[in-house]
Amino acid sequence: MTSDQLHRLLLDNLNTAVLLLNADLVIDYINPAAEALTQASAARLCGTEARDLFVDTNMSLTTLQEALDSGSPHTRRHEHLRLPSAESAQVDYTVTPVELNGQAVLLLEMQPIDRFLKINREEALLSVHDTSRSLIRGLAHEIKNPLGGIRGAAQLLNQMIAEQGLDDETRELCHIITTEADRLRNLVDRLLGPNHLPQMEAMSIHEVTEHVAALIEAETRGSLTLKRDYDPSIPDIQGDKEQLIQAVLNVARNAMQAVLDSSEADPQITFRSRIKRSFTIAGQHHKVICCLEIIDNGPGVSEELKERIFFPMISGRSEGSGLGLTIAQTAVNGHQGIIECESEAGHTSFSIYLPVKV
């Protein structure tokens, strides 16, 4: 392997976004991490002015020019990149003057702050989720044992009532005990989530969304608008179709109930699929991630509820069980993925991130 090949290999596999700017502050090189951060290809960005990457073009031009003129590194924090999606990403960046073939050029390194903050939140969420699941498993064991005894006793009592020919009202009371014991056992089973490991198979994420969309459309019968915004180039993922359908359905049903219960004149839900690159989940770096967003234009999730929304028995509706999102998060975690929520009035997005094997 030549020196150039080694350098290219190292740059292509860095998680840090790296760009090389010539003396005119024009981009000459951009590594894959920078392509992922800027959401643009090297073919598109090479030959363009580096200042156009930033929202504050004047400030970025000043910083880059000063670094080039002084020969000293410059660092700026909490700057915003201009993205093709009309959104912005917050970054810290350092620009370092280097010499290449006898000419002064600039090495620009960028780190996305937003993603680091999300990683910290994800790690905290997963830690709490694991703790709550351990607690639930312990409680489930303590609850199901006496429930089994109660149900068994109720069945014996029912037999004795039948043998002695007691009245129907007494038998009905015994039936209520059995039914309620079964209901509590089913509730505990739902809290525990799937009782088997995911049965992985190659599948398209759009098989899942179309199945869920058909269920939602049948349930709402035209009372809301369901939109699809798919990236058809997303490769197959490895997943348990049944578990993923349940997870997406739970999130979509929450969105459906939120918009239908609101005063929104044109209730809408959008399924949007995208590819994300250079993504970290639970401390594990993935080169490619499938991101499925379920977006609604309902009233939004309150700040207080947003921090606890994936915890069991937490619901924003008085009639809700508080289990739907917990079950969804458990299923997605079983696929090495995670669900995130971003919400404000008129726009709530639940993003399901699933690794793609490449």
Q: Comparing 195 with 9, which gets the higher pLDDT?
A: 9
Q: Quick one: pLDDT band at residue 169, thresholds 50, 70, 90?
A: confident
CA distances from 78 to 63, 113, 126, 343 (A): 14, 7, 27, 22
Burial class (CB within 10 angstroms; exposed 0-12, middle 13-18, buried 19+) of 112: buried
Give me the mean pLDDT over the 43-50 stretch.
92
The H-or-E segment that residue 203 falls in is strand 201-203
| Least confident piece of the model among 36-50, 89-103, 162-176, 324-338 | 162-176
Instruction: Kindly report the pTM of this predicted structure.
Output: 0.62
Q: What is the C-alpha to C-alpha distance for residues 287 and 32, in angstroms, rounded to an integer?
A: 10
pLDDT score at 162: 77
Q: Quick one: pLDDT band at residue 115, thresholds 50, 70, 90?
A: low
Q: What is the C-alpha to C-alpha distance for residues 346 and 267, in angstroms, rounded to an integer?
A: 10
> Is 3.30.565.10 the CATH number for 201-355?
yes
In 230-322, the DSSP E strands lie at 237-239, 268-281, 284-296
C-beta separation of 33 from 17 below 8 A: yes
From 210, 192, 217, select the one nearest 248 (Cα to Cα). 210
Listed by start position, the domains of the chain span 3-114, 117-192, 201-355
pLDDT score at 268: 94
Q: 20-30: per-residue pLDDT in tens?
A: 999 999 999 99
pLDDT tops 60 at residue 321: no
Q: What is the C-alpha to C-alpha distance for residues 194 and 355, in angstroms, rounded to an integer?
A: 20
pLDDT tops 60 at residue 85: yes
Q: What is the C-alpha to C-alpha distance for residues 238 and 258, in angstroms, rounded to an integer?
A: 31
Give me the mean pLDDT over the 317-328 stretch.
68
pLDDT tops 80 at residue 278: no
User: Residue with structure tokens 């068994």?
Assistant: 152
CA distances from 206 to 214, 290, 354 (A): 12, 11, 13
Give me the mean pLDDT over the 138-165 stretch.
78
Q: Quick one: pLDDT band at residue 213, thresholds 50, 70, 90?
A: very high
pLDDT tops 90 at residue 274: yes
Tokens of 254: 């929450």
Give me the mean pLDDT over the 171-181 stretch.
82
> Angle between the 241-261 and 324-333 helix axes, to the nearest 10 degrees?
150
Give me the mean pLDDT over the 108-121 stretch.
73
Q: Domain 3-114 belongs to what topology?
A: Beta-Lactamase (3.30.450)
In the chain, the DSSP E strands lie at 17-21, 27-30, 74-82, 88-100, 103-112, 201-203, 225-229, 237-239, 268-281, 284-296, 338-344, 347-355
pLDDT tops 60 at residue 320: no
pLDDT score at 117: 62
Q: Comparing 196 with 150, which gets the higher pLDDT?
A: 150
Mean predicted lDDT score pLDDT of the chain: 83
pLDDT tops 80 at residue 307: no
